[in-house]
Amino acid sequence: MTNFTDRHGVSHPLPAPEAEAQVRADDRGHVFHSWSAQGMIDPMPVATGEGSTFWDYQGNAYLDFSSQLVNLNLGHQHPDLVAAIQQQAGRLATIQPSIANDVRGELARLIAEVAPEGLEKVFFTNGGAEANEYAVRMARQFTGRRKVLSMYRSYHGSTSTAISLTGDPRRWANDTVDSGAVRFFGPYLYRSPFHAETPEQESERALAHLEQTIQLEGPQTIAAIIIETVVGTNGVLVPPPGYLQGVRALCDRYGIVYIADEVMVGFGRLGEWFGIDAFDASPDLITFAKGVNSGYVPLGGVVISDRIARAFDTMPFAGGLTYSGHPLACAAGVATFEVFRRDGILERVRDLGTRIVEPTV
């Protein structure tokens, strides 16, 4: 039997190597994979993982540079998250969302406490795409408008409205699902569509372009602008100085809801609870998923500003999910907050960002 050695130097047995053949056969015979031509892929069978490493059935170790799908913020098999799920499963494995639940309420409170001021309510979803779907639905119901602006270099998920708002080529085969989607060019100095030469020029010209788009589309028709705080799968594009503050100002000027898509950068990726904190701009809605519990159980959500939440005090919100705020997922989320604070995760990210990642001039 093949073994693997964990980060503490302890040896553990892996499943028998011959089990790999059955895993591969079951996968190739019956699993339909996302974003793939099914006959042209051969997914690697993975036996186990720990921290930043996972192992195949032959005992080969792989450093997980991508954190799976940029969601495994606390690594594979974190003992605190696993224990939280086990304990919750033993006490209350599931409950419908219309019933108050302790871990759901606690996680919502913890999220609200670290969100920008004036965002106190949380609607839970099962993942990031749904979070963006529901944020758009809230914005449309709140404003009574239909259009939503998004960048060409963007990814917001693969469900109907989310893929319509996505700007990159993954949209092409799924387009025209939501006719209210309108795209614009975001700032990207390296390949500037505005012929800018400095970050400041790029910010100024990108904001002028966005305002022109708003005016040509008709401000009274636009419900929301949705922006990844740092563009993720389209290149990790950090907004230039002043850009997100400028977007906030435009939204205020034209009565548009500002949605910050934090599915990827929320919960520590930028050394902040929410990436928007690094840019001093407060959105009306924040969408999150991934790092809120490292994907141990599917979870996402929308953090809602007080002014939007108040609109639904007497007007029913037209939306809901069977597994909204699932107790197992929320238990892992509560444990995530505990680990972040106990182990100084945000401080660790900031330190690594400054010493290792940040460019020197």
Each of the 361 residues of the chain gets a pLDDT tens digit; together they read: 577 777 777 888 888 888 999 999 999 999 999 999 999 999 999 999 999 999 999 999 999 999 999 999 999 999 999 999 999 999 999 999 999 999 999 999 999 999 999 999 999 999 999 999 999 999 999 999 999 999 999 999 999 999 999 999 999 998 777 889 999 999 999 999 999 999 999 999 999 999 999 999 999 999 999 999 999 999 999 999 999 999 999 999 999 999 999 999 999 999 999 999 999 999 999 999 999 999 999 999 999 999 999 999 999 999 999 999 999 999 999 999 999 999 999 999 999 999 988 877 6
pLDDT of residue 361: 67
Q: How far apart are CA 251 and CA 156, in angstroms?
A: 20
- Dihedral (CA of 117, 123, 127, 133) sign: negative
In the 8-state DSSP scheme, what is residue 328? H
Whether 303 contacts 122, CB under 8 Å: yes
Distance of CA 245 to the CA centre of its chain: 21
CA distances from 105 to 38, 115, 134, 309 (A): 41, 15, 19, 16
Give the pLDDT confidence score for residue 2 in this predicted structure. Answer: 75
**Tokens, residue 306:** 């007080």
Cite the beta strand spans of 19-170 per DSSP E.
46-50, 53-56, 61-63, 119-125, 147-151
What are phi and psi for residue 233, nearest 5 degrees? Answer: -70, -5
3-state secondary structure of 335: helix
Task: Return the pLDDT at 1.
Answer: 57
Burial 319-347 (b: 16+ CB within 10 A, else e): eeeebbbbbbbbbbbbbbbebbeeeebbe
The half-sphere exposure of 326 on its side-chain side, counting CA atoms within 13 A, is 20
Cα(256)–Cα(184) distance, integer angstroms:
15
Rounded Cα distance between 326 and 113, Å, is: 20
Strands 181-184 and 147-151 come out as parallel
The pLDDT value given to residue 336: 98
Tokens of 132: 């963006």
Structure-token pair, residue 206? 């990108």
- Cα–Cα distance for residue pair 261/313, rounded to 1 Å: 25
Give the C-alpha distances (Å, rounded to integers) separating 45 from 34, 54, 59, 68, 74.
16, 11, 11, 14, 22
Burial class (CB in 10 A: 0-12, 13-18, 19+), 120: middle
User: Position 31: which residue type?
Assistant: V
Stretch (H or E) spanning 83? helix 79-91
| Cα–Cα dist 133/137, whole Å | 6
d(CA 159, CA 149): 17
In the chain, what are the domains? Answer: 3-65 (no CATH), 96-327+346-352 (3.40.640.10)
